[in-house]
Amino acid sequence: MQRYLVSRLIQSIAILFGVLVLVFFMVRVTGDPATIMMPREASPESIEAFRHKMGFDRPVIVQFWDFLTHAVVGDFGNSLHFKIPALPLILERLPATVQLAAGGMLLALVVAIPLGLVGGSTPGSVWDGIGRLIGLLGQSIPNFWLALVLIFFFAVRLRLLPSFGRDELRSMILPCFVLGLPTMGSLVRLTRSAVLEIRGEDYVRTAYSKGLRPNLIYVRHILRNAAIPLVSVIGVQFGYMLGGSIYIETIFSWPGMGQMIEQAIGWRDYPLVQAIAFLTSVIVVVLNLFTDMAYALIDPRIRYGR
């Protein structure tokens, strides 16, 4: 178990190093980072001055070393738009994004797990039908479009819910629903198929044949085993929500990191974009690491193996 965790930790650090390399070279992929970051109408002289100021005229390897040593301690340079360090700007936006993702995840869990459990136990029933429909819709509805449709009906027509901002609890409802729906769909599908599969296992049949009460079998054998794949997917999906809320934050004017990256791209503020991309990756990678640790804790095959 310890060896497994240590190897996962080393792997995570390697991945984050890879992300730094990627983020560094992405703004250089067209050959000249200065023209990407300067306004389109900038004069050649001002671009030249900017290039020198940012140090883009130094050898790439020197720039990379500089970038690396600063990034490791959380220094991504100043945001070009705000003229202050990028990191505190992002940290200021982080709570809003986490709040949105947490709300979306909560909504997804509350709806998906019961539906999946019922659907898996009674395939073909009405509840199973509803669960499968949610599974399909969550997979197919474009969330940026769903957001517009919901705004149109609930904010413009019915005037029930606010269409933007983060002022009150009610303003969380629409964005959380839109962000949570794809996860809801995949969790319903996963829970359903896990229950269906486990119901047919030998140990469940044995439990029945030795006369164990059905309720007890459900809790002790089916639920416990269905929880194993769920834990890993929930962790991964949460990371996906944190990095995938760009459309939703943009449409609902939700003041999180997703909205900021969209704005930063509009301002050509690439140091800020780089910082957001790296920080989000750190969060996602750490989340995946924790998920794997939780997975190892609840699954004896990993706990005792390796």
Rounded to the nearest whole angstrom, what is the least distance from the CB of residue 247 to other proteins in the complex? 6
Using CB under 8 A, pick the residue from 285, 293, 294, 302 that binds other proteins: 285
Residue 235 CB contacts under 8 Å (≥ 6 apart), including other chains: 287, 288, 290, 291, 294
- Interface region with other proteins, contact rule CB under 8 A, candidates 1-9, 85-93, 148-156, 210-218: 148-156
299 is a site residue for other proteins (CB under 8 A): no
22 is a site residue for other proteins (CB under 8 A): yes
130 is a site residue for other proteins (CB under 8 A): no
Q: Which residue shows structure tokens 């929500």?
A: 241
Using CB under 8 A, pick the residue from 88, 142, 214, 305 that binds other proteins: 142
Using CB under 8 A, pick the residue from 14, 60, 297, 298 that binds other proteins: 14
The smaller minimum CB distance to other proteins, of residues 205 and 220, is found at: 205
94 is a site residue for other proteins (CB under 8 A): no
- Interface region with other proteins, contact rule CB under 8 A, candidates 56-64, 78-86, 149-157, 206-214: 149-157
- Strand, helix or coil at 289? helix
The smaller minimum CB distance to other proteins, of residues 59 and 124, is found at: 124
The smaller minimum CB distance to other proteins, of residues 11 and 220, is found at: 11
Separation of alpha carbons 92 and 256, rounded Å: 8
- Interface region with other proteins, contact rule CB under 8 A, candidates 88-96, 206-214, 226-234, 244-252: 244-252
Strand-pairing partners, residue 78, are 85
Neighbours of 39 (CB within 10 A): 11
The smaller minimum CB distance to other proteins, of residues 15 and 228, is found at: 15
DSSP 214-229: HHHHIIIIIIHHHHHH
For CA atoms 111, 113, 117, 120, give the dihedral sign.
positive
252 is a site residue for other proteins (CB under 8 A): no
**What b/e readout covers 50-86, taking b as 16+ CB neighbours within 10 angstroms?**
bbeebebeeeeeebbeebeeebeeeebbbbbbeeebb
For CA atoms 139, 169, 250, 149, give the dihedral sign.
positive
23, burial (CB in 10 Å: exposed 0-12, middle 13-18, buried 19+): buried
Separation of alpha carbons 103 and 173, rounded Å: 8
**Which residues are at the interface with other proteins (CB under 8 A)?**
11, 14-15, 18-19, 22, 26-27, 29-30, 36, 123-124, 136, 139-142, 144-146, 148-149, 151-152, 156, 239-240, 242-244, 246-247, 250-251, 261-262, 265, 270, 273, 276-277, 280-281, 284-285, 288
